[in-house]
Structures are given as structure tokens and as C-alpha cells.
Amino acid sequence: MDGRGGCIDPSLAALVTPGSVHSQLTHSNSRFLVLDCAPATLETVQLERLAQRIYLPISTATRRLIEFAELIGNEQLSIAAVQLVPLLLSSLSSEALQSSSSMEQLVARLRAHPGADWSNEAMARTANMSMSQLHQRFRQLFAKPPQAWLTHLRIDEAQRWLRGTSLPIADIALRTGFSDQAALTRAMQRVCNTTPAVYRKAQIQSR
């Protein structure tokens, strides 16, 4: 983007401003949600501040809206776009304009895409800190090491999918960062003393 390279993923978006020179290289099976908006959609000052960063973190709220767009399909999406686009822009820009520490930015990215391949090395690299600093900060903030905190986050995300969708448990496991359904089941048994199937059945019966 105007000579500034970057790698976008489900936790990071890119802003293409009017007149900018940009190109993209992607895998053939990649999927994108592209918002083609008039510059007037965003306030001038806001657009200028966003353009300085180019690569913007996708907040949890933004990701929920993207998931909604994916689930309703193209036909319904074309109908809902008038309402959905302002919400997407608002959630994306409000998150990106907040100044935050490197640890806060890391946590925001973890919450936005818990299913990504988040090794401790990847977390430390994202937060621009050493491994010892990473462990120290997680202990201070959450009283847990990084991977234990991430497992709880992934279980919370899996439970949300179990409550709100009819997706197969195996698919939910992969979406939320577990290697397979058995790995999700073991994690939920250890942390929550239940299994995905039992949890889903209990949620359905309580409605």
C-alpha cells in the first residue's frame, strides 16, 4: 500500500485510501470482505488518522459483524448491506483510533481471532517483547500463563458457537484453534467439567 507492505489476516484489515497505489498477493482459497465506500462515509479527520496506520486491528465487534455477513449468504448480504456497512465502519474505526500499549494490542488481536496459530513465540513477536516479558505480563494481568489464558478464550469462543449455531462440533473446534473435536472436548472437560455435546444440549433445553 503506497510502498508499505503488510500481511492481513482475520485479525487485521487494510485501508485503501482514494488514489493510493496498492497490490495484493493471496492464496487461491482466501476469502475477503471488501467495503467499497465513498470518502465522505468517514469524517475527513478520521480518515486521515486511519490512513496513517493503513493496517488496522479487527476488534471483536467487527469480527462478529463479519461472521454475520458470512453466515447470511450473498443474497441476504446485499439486502442488509445498507445497515451493515455503517456498523462495520464504526466498529473498525473506533477500535483503530484508540491508542493502546503493545500488550493491549496483542490481547485485542487474540480476542479478535483466537483460532489463529498463536504460539508463545508469535504472541511475543506481535507484542514486540521477549518471552520472559510476555509471561510476566500475562501473570500480572490475568494470573495465568499465555497458553492457559488462550485456552480459556478459545473455550469461550467455542461455547458461543455452540450456543448460537448448528455448526458441527468438529468445525467449531477448528474455527476456535483446537486441532480437532477431541482436543476441544478434552479442554472443556478439564476447564468446564463438561463436553461440547453436553453443553450444547443444555443450552438448547434451557431456551
In angstroms, the CA 151 to CA 177 distance is 9
In angstroms, the CA 124 to CA 102 distance is 10
How confident is the prediction for the chain on average, in pLDDT? Answer: 84
pLDDT average, residue stretch 30-59:
71
* Domains assigned to the chain: 12-99 (no CATH), 146-205 (1.10.10.60)
Q: Select from 176, 114, 177, 101 the least CA-distant residue to 141.
A: 101
The CA-atom distances, in angstroms, between 30 and each of 54, 68, 141 are 20, 18, 35
Q: pLDDT above 70 covers what percent of the chain?
A: 87
Model confidence band, residue 98 (pLDDT cutoffs 50, 70, 90): low
pLDDT average, residue stretch 147-173:
95
In angstroms, the CA 130 to CA 159 distance is 32
In angstroms, the CA 183 to CA 158 distance is 12
Give the lowest-confidence range in 29-38, 152-161, 192-201.
29-38
72-100 burial, b at 16+ Cβ within 10 Å, e below that, comes to eeeeeeeeeeeebbeebbebbbebbeeee
Look up residue 4 and give its three cell numbers.
Answer: 508499505
Tell which phi-psi region holds residue 19, choosing left (phi > 0), alpha (psi between -120 and 50) or beta: left
Strands (E), 7-113: 12-14, 55-57
99, pLDDT greater than 50:
no
- What are the φ and ψ backbone dihedral angles of 83, each rounded to 5 degrees? -85, -30
The single-letter code of the amino acid at 81 is A
Q: pLDDT above 90 covers what percent of the chain?
A: 37
Look up residue 74 and give its three cell numbers.
Answer: 450473498
pLDDT for 4 equals 73
Report field, pTM of the whole predicted structure over 0.85: no
